[in-house]
Amino acid sequence: MSETKVRIHERTAVKTATQERGAVMATPVSKTQEKPATGVCPKCGAAVDADMELCPQCGWKLVDYCTFCGAPMRPDDIDCLECGMPAEGVICPECKTRNFRSFCVKCGIPLSRAARMAVEKAKKDPKVQETARLLQRMAQLHAELEEAQQEEALEEEKHRELSELEKEYQALMAKVGFKPAEAPKSAPAKKGRKHEEILEEFKQTVKDANKLMEEMLPPAGTTPQEQRNYYTARKVAVVEIITETFWGIDPQDAMGWLCNHCKIMHESPQQCIYRDFGGKWVSNSNWKMWTVVDAGTEGAVEVHNYREKTVYKRE
């Protein structure tokens, strides 16, 4: 087998059968007490809770109001009279997933006029621009950390080999009655920054990014739907969408939405199935991402994604 080629990519989606059906997925952070089901989904028949806005299995709408804008809707309404979005959701033009929120739950693109306007406002937000710069710096520092670790490991191995050769040389000289001459000290090779120094900057950058994200607050009096759009737009504003398929190990997002309601990490606020809203963006301080490897590598899975979210600095 050829030597494994490893690249680092930010996670785009976790490949599961449920998410392939367009359901709302999340990564557990802490366990919560399960509530008894109070109803069933009209679409798939799954047990649902009264607080849920969307079915956790199929993602179907469970409430009598528009999940895009919050306006009341009658059972026979085809479209929302307030925002014009379809009662049966909208199919994402990019990944073909059915959605009942303003941003695609799978690939993240804005689907409504309100979502597109929120993204345009987010691009002009100085805090968003600074967050993009910090996240870009985190990516650069992560690459530096890997390089420094490799250099230090090679230097340690080289030193170990030289020590063994030196001992062998001295032993041979002693056998023939010569005193080994002291080897001239070579000039120290030019090196980059130490691993510890880079790590300290990385930690501070994470801290600064988290602080900025916590300061991103929607205007007072906004609805849960407007709040979701506000927060999701700020993530969309700092990522680039690319289509890609690869083999990878250990997925985790570089930006995650820590939900106040169910205490789990979502990819975005759009993925929370409950009607009440609350949470905050957090950066992944461990910077665990998809490690892209050769096909057939042990532990790897083939990941089919409609986009790769790459942090970049906007003009």
257 domain residue, yes or no? yes
Q: How many domains does the chain have?
A: 2
Same domain, 251 and 117: yes
Same domain, 27 and 174: no
298 domain residue, yes or no? yes
- Residue 25, domain extent: 7-125+216-311
Same domain, 154 and 258: no
Report the distance separating Cα 134 and Cα 139, nearest Å: 9
Is residue 207 very low, low, confident or very high in pLDDT (cuts 50, 70, 90)? Answer: confident
What pLDDT is recorded for position 172?
60
- 243-276 pLDDT, tens per residue? 566 666 555 445 677 777 665 667 777 777 776 6
What pLDDT is recorded for position 262?
61
To 10 degrees, what angle do helices 113-123 and 126-175 make?
60
What pLDDT is recorded for position 178?
53
Q: Is the pLDDT of residue 201 over 80?
A: yes
Region 168-178: what's the mean pLDDT? 57
1 domain residue, yes or no? no
Contact 87, 94 (CB under 8 A): no
170 domain residue, yes or no? yes
Same domain, 120 and 26: yes
Give 4's DSSP letter: P
Same domain, 167 and 307: no
Same domain, 82 and 150: no
Report the distance separating Cα 197 and Cα 204, nearest Å: 11
Q: What does the mean pLDDT of the chain come to?
A: 72
Least confident of 15-19, 109-113, 169-173, 184-188: 15-19
What pLDDT is recorded for position 108?
85
Same domain, 18 and 106: yes
Region 51-64: what's the mean pLDDT? 89
Same domain, 138 and 49: no
185 domain residue, yes or no? no
What pLDDT is recorded for position 33?
43
Higher pLDDT, 128 or 182: 128
Least confident of 142-146, 223-227, 307-311: 307-311
Region 136-159: what's the mean pLDDT? 78
203 domain residue, yes or no? yes
186 domain residue, yes or no? no
Same domain, 53 and 84: yes
- 90-114 pLDDT, tens per residue? 999 988 899 999 999 888 889 999 9
**Termini Cα distance of the chain:** 43
What pLDDT is recorded for position 68?
94
Same domain, 156 and 52: no
Same domain, 57 and 101: yes
274 domain residue, yes or no? yes
Same domain, 60 and 46: yes
Enumerate long-range contacts of 209-213, CB under 8 Å, 24 or more apart. Answer: 209/131, 209/134, 209/135, 209/138, 209/283, 210/282, 210/283, 212/127, 212/130, 212/131, 212/134, 213/131, 213/255, 213/280, 213/281, 213/282, 213/283
